[in-house]
């Protein structure tokens, strides 16, 4: 067993434990300019660093999972990425599950490079999991998935996203191979579910999850809740985008217990001094 995996344990097991302890609320750390202004912070690298560190401080002991939006740090160049590395390290030191929202996707050595940056145990942006795009083919992610597993990390693969531009591609029908007749979204779910079978037998979650927007209808994308057995579901769209935390079960049915209900602007907007109260209220709503 690789040393990193032996030290950290499997991502799916850690994630299942975090959900059991703190619910599946996923706190999105998104330093949008308006949110920075609301906390009296400058829209620069120092501002996003302070924003991220304060968000981590508010989350510690209240939620189990955070999801920094990489692009909103990266827009400040090298200094912004340095700030992001500090925020990621602080979140992991606070024993939070850290999902870096990178949406990377490529092939071969380029994908290996992304993996070395984000999921290796000693990576400069070491995270518990990253988001990946499968639209060069799910198989193009095999190296990243394998490398993440060896490091005790996980990945979340885009499946059914809520932006309208993606619908045609994600609901297109697969014409050949083992997933023939399924939608592209359902095929990606099936690949993740196949990788989760061993974890399901252990009563845990897989290391490969999928991203499904909370505002989409699963059946419109050819997905049934039963298809998601053992698959962690990262579900953005709660709060400002319209979905309600109290509706997780009605949206995802039997898969609700493994859903990471992601909310950012709804939690970040408002006085910093009241962030803890907003997080506690969101946790209560999700737990009902």
Cross-strand bridge partners of residue 29:
68
Q: What is the mean pLDDT of residues 197-213?
A: 95
pLDDT at 113: 92
Three-state DSSP string of 9-35 = CCHHHHHHHHHHHHCCEEEEECCCHHH
**How much is the pLDDT for 227?**
96
**pLDDT above 70: residue 189:** yes
Q: What is the mean pLDDT of residues 15-28?
A: 96
pLDDT at 240 over 80: no
Residue 232 near residue 12, CB atoms below 8 Å: yes
**Bridge partner list, 236:** 262
Task: Give the pLDDT band of residue 7 (cuts 50, 70, 90).
Answer: confident
User: For position 169, what pLDDT does the model report?
Assistant: 95
Please state the domain count of the chain: 1
pLDDT score, position 288: 65
- Check residue 146 and give its pLDDT: 93
pTM: 0.96
Report the pLDDT value the prediction gives residue 6, as an integer from 0 to 100: 62
Using an 8 Å Cβ cutoff, are 130 and 104 in contact? Answer: yes
The percentage of residues in the chain with a pLDDT greater than 70, rounded to a whole number, is: 99
Average pLDDT, the chain: 94
Domain membership of residue 147 as a residue range: 5-287
103 a catalytic residue: yes
Catalytic residue among 54, 92, 103, 167: 103
CATH number, domain with residue 107: 3.20.20.70
What pLDDT, on a 0 to 100 scale, did the predictor assign at position 242? 79
Q: What is the pLDDT of residues 23-77, one digit of tens each?
A: 999 999 999 999 999 999 999 999 999 999 999 999 999 999 999 999 999 999 9
Task: Output the pLDDT for position 287.
Answer: 83
């Amino acid at each position: 067993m690789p040393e990193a995996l032996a030290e950290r344990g499997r991502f799916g097991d850690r994630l299942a434990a975090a959900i059991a302890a703190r619910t599946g609320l996923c706190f999105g750390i998104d330093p949008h300019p308006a949110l920075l202004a609301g906390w009296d912070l400058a829209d620069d690298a120092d501002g996003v660093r302070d924003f991220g560190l304060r968000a981590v401080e508010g989350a510690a002991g209240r939620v189990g999972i955070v999801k920094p939006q990489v692009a909103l740090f990266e827009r400040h160049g090298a200094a912004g990425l340095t700030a992001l590395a500090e925020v990621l390290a602080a979140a992991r030191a606070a024993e939070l599950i850290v999902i870096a929202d990178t949406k990377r996707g490529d092939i071969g050595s380029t994908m290996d490079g992304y993996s070395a940056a984000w999921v290796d145990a000693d990576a400069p942006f070491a995270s518990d999991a990253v988001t990946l795009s499968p639209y060069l083919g799910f198989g193009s992610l095999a190296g990243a998935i394998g490398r993440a597993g060896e490091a005790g990390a996980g990945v979340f693969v885009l499946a059914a996203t809520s932006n309208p531009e993606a619908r045609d591609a994600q609901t297109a029908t697969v014409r050949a191979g083992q997933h023939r007749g399924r939608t592209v979204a359902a095929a990606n779910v099936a690949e993740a579910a196949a990788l989760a079978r061993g974890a399901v037998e252990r009563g845990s979650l897989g290391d490969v999850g999928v991203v499904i927007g909370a505002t989409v209808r699963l059946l419109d994308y050819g997905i049934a809740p039963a298809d998601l057995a053992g698959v962690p579901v990262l579900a953005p769209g709660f709060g400002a985008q319209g979905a309600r935390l109290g509706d997780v079960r009605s949206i995802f049915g039997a898969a609700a217990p493994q859903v990471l209900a992601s909310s950012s602007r709804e939690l970040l907007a408002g006085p910093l001094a009241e962030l803890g109260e907003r997080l506690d209220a969101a946790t209560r709503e999700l737990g009902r």
